[in-house]
Each structure stands twice: as C-alpha cells, then as structure tokens.
Amino acid sequence: MSQSNEPLKIAVFASGSGSNFQALAEAIKREDIHASIELVVCDKPSAYVLERANQLNIATYVFKPKEYASREHYEQEIVNKLLADGIDLIVLAGYMRIITNVLVEPFYGRMINIHPALLPSFPGLDGVGQALDYGAKLTGATVHFVDGGTDTGPIIAQQVVEIREDDTKETLAHRIQQVEHILLPKVVRMISEGKVTLSGRKVRVAQ
C-alpha cells in the first residue's frame, strides 16, 4: 500500500466511545505515522466518537441503519463515498456491525479490524467477557485484515494480556484497551510504510 510520499488516507469506522480512534489520531498528529484520518464513519448519532472527531476537526459520516432497506444499501452508499474520497485504508475500531461483501470486496487487504481477544479465540460480540467467563488465563488484542467472516481474517499483530483472578470485565477491558491503543497505531504505521504484505492467510511484516 501507499509507498509514495502521499500520506495514507484513512477512514475509521466506530460505533462507540472512539478511544482507539483518538489514539490513532494522536499518533498521526505526533507524526509517528505518515497518514491522515479523512473520515469517521459512524452508525450511531449519539456515539462519543463523533464528539472526539469534531474536536479534532475530522469529517464525519453518520448513518442510521434502520433508514435503509438492507446492510448492502447503506454499505454501497459508504463505499461510493470512500472511493470518491480516495480512501486507502479502512480501520474498524469498535464498529459493531456485520460487514457484507459490498464493503469487503473493494477493500480486501485494505481494511483492518481491532478485536479485544486473541483470535481465533473469542470472536464476535463481547470478546472480553467471553475470555473471562471461559476462565482463560491469557487474552489480549488482535489486529487483522477483514474478510467475509466474523473476526476470521488474516492476523497482522497480536499482544497478550494476562487475566488476573480478581479481574472484572471492566478492569480487564481497561488493560486490553491500553494495549490496543499502542497496537493499532503500530500496525497502521507499518502499513503506511509498506511493510505489511498479505499472501493467502499469511501476513508478512518486514522489519
């Protein structure tokens, strides 16, 4: 991807607080990453991520899924916007909707997701609670390319977080998020430097 001098153009998709969006935006601002967040796409008009985006003067695209006949319909509208804006990379950062091929196909290999568990364990909703309820001793965070399945795409990077005996979902989620806030910008930086290559299910990261 973008090995030219042009900054990598990113669209972040989020549904909630947007702390990962903020961590990425701050890393870019510190110039750790030759990239620019062009757009925040959000399916929830009341999500705090929109306030964060406004404070950082980053454009937002808000939609209400219920106003569309199907997922494919709103995704097509979003894809048209992303292509018109020349977006290079989609970052799903707490985007809590199922994705269809309308979005996956034009952006395969150019769309990543952050998940709060060590995939392939505990995919889908509530990865933090799943690991805790299962009694796992280790969990963590995963950044992966998005394919047609739920959290099944090729893995780019993972980091382990230990589960403590006295952890609650809140304390564990907090420690995982601290890791996410470092891991996600690190992966985006590697992508912006053209260091990440995808071959089948295998992701190679050049040193």
Phi, psi of 54 (to 5 degrees): -60, -45
What does the alpha-carbon distance between residue 104 and residue 114 come to, in Å, rounded to a whole number? Answer: 16
Q: Which stretches of 45-168 are DSSP H helices?
A: 48-55, 71-84, 101-107, 127-134
Task: Tell the smallest beta-carbon distance from residue 127 to ligand GAR (Å).
Answer: 5
Q: Minimum Å distance from CB 131 to ligand GAR?
A: 12
Per-residue string for binding with ligand GAR, 115-154, x by CB under 6 A? xx----------x---------------------------
Q: Residue 71: enclosing H or E segment and its boundaries?
A: helix 71-84
- Which member of 8, 12, 14, 191 binds ligand GAR (CB under 6 A)? 14
- 93 is an interface residue for ligand GAR by CB under 6 A: yes
Count the site residues for ligand GAR by CB under 6 A: 14
Q: CB–CB of 158/117 below 8 Å?
A: no
Among the listed ranges 52-60, 61-69, 114-122, 162-170, the one in contact with ligand GAR (CB under 6 A) is 114-122
Write the interaction track for ligand GAR spanning residues 48-67; mark x where CB under 6 A is met and - where it is not.
--------------------
- Alpha carbons within 13 A on the beta-carbon side of 44: 15
